[in-house]
Amino acid sequence: MIRKQLGFSMVELMVAMVIQFILLAGMVYVYSNSRVMFTVNEQLSRVQENGRYLTDVLLHDIRMAGYSGCRSIDEVVPNNIIARSPPTFASLADGITVFENGAGWANPTALTRVAGSDVITLQSAQGSGVSLRANMITDTATIQLMAHPDRWAANDLILISDCSHADLFRASAVNHNHGTIIAHDNIANTGNQLSKAYAKDAQLMPFDAHTYFIATGANAEPGLYQYSFNSDTATLLAEGVENMQLLLAEDTSGDQEPDVYVNATAVMDWEAVIGVRVGLLMRSANNVATEARAFAFNGANANTGNDTRVRKAFWSYAAMRNRIN
């Protein structure tokens, strides 16, 4: 007896193929969603990292605004400016200026500033001080330093201060042959006379004014830039910054505590400003979300282009240490 060979029927093969297609489609769907979520999380991590970094940089400069050494600049009398072309502040005590939406700020760079974002300038002595090696013979004498730092160069803005006086001048010459000797003649300065002949307890510190603003770079991506008055250069700190909003903490009662938070145009007394609330709107470099969503920042929708970028807002506060006893 001949036994017939048995196999799968056409219907069974079709059912098996459909099942395979369903399983394959499910695997593709899971892989695709996983890839999207990985990309979103990666972009969000970068946004968070940049946001925290920029917040740290801004808050540090805000805390140090007006720093002049061992005492508050308001307690140092006189604070004397003889440097030619100093920062636009009228006094060393004026450590902060905010331009609401950038109005009134003269952009010293070739970068295109992003409209609708605030601009802030903060000035202070930079880093730790270097002590004098010997007392100055007269208030016009050269300044001899204990250390031999490479950070001093001719035409640099330099602050010399002790606990009672402070002078801002430009170095007309720097000699590193025997220690460090800094001159301050009336070519780099409006005069060569400091407010006193400083003793060995005085310290020298580099001085600068940093301006933070949002501008677009060569790739048209907005980023936060730091402009250094001393070096006349703008440095990109991070890309993906769409907006910066600043609220000034004003002490109207004299108790060294914030009473109101106002925009720059609403400040009644700049000497009463004791802190700054900083808001940064960050976005991802690419369109990675599955759909466009509105994003509220400072009371308005930030996603005006209706794109699918990931966005995050960072709000922080820093007190100006040199305005608080």
How confident is the model over 243-264, as pLDDT tens digits?
999 999 999 998 989 999 999 9
Higher pLDDT, 35 or 50: 50
- Taking only the tens place, the pLDDT of each residue in 105-154 is 999 999 999 999 999 999 988 888 888 999 999 999 999 987 666 778 89
> From CA 101, how far away is CA 281, in angstroms rounded?
14
Poorest-pLDDT segment among 5-19, 187-201, 235-249: 5-19
| Closest alpha carbon to 91 in 153, 159, 163, 170 | 159
pLDDT at 103: 94
CA distance 211 to 198: 31
Fill in the DSSP letter of residue 265: G
Backbone angles phi, psi at 73, to 5 degrees: -60, -25
Burial class (CB in 10 A: 0-12, 13-18, 19+), 10: exposed
High-pLDDT (> 90) share of the chain, %: 46
Contact (Cβ atoms closer than 8 angstroms) between residue 317 and residue 277: yes
In three-state secondary structure terms, 56 is helix
Distance CA 266, CA 250 (A): 10
pLDDT at 1: 56
Q: How does DSSP assign 111-136, residue by residue?
A: SEEPTT--EEEEEEE-S--EEBSS--
Q: Global pTM?
A: 0.84
| Residue 125 backbone dihedrals phi, psi, to 5 degrees | -70, 145
Q: Which residues contact 147 (CB under 8 A, 6 or more apart)?
A: 130, 131, 179, 180
Peptide bond into 149 cis (omega under 30): no
Q: pLDDT tens digits for 267-303?
A: 998 889 999 999 999 988 887 777 788 888 888 888 7
Residues in the chain: 325
Residue 183 tokens read as 């001159």
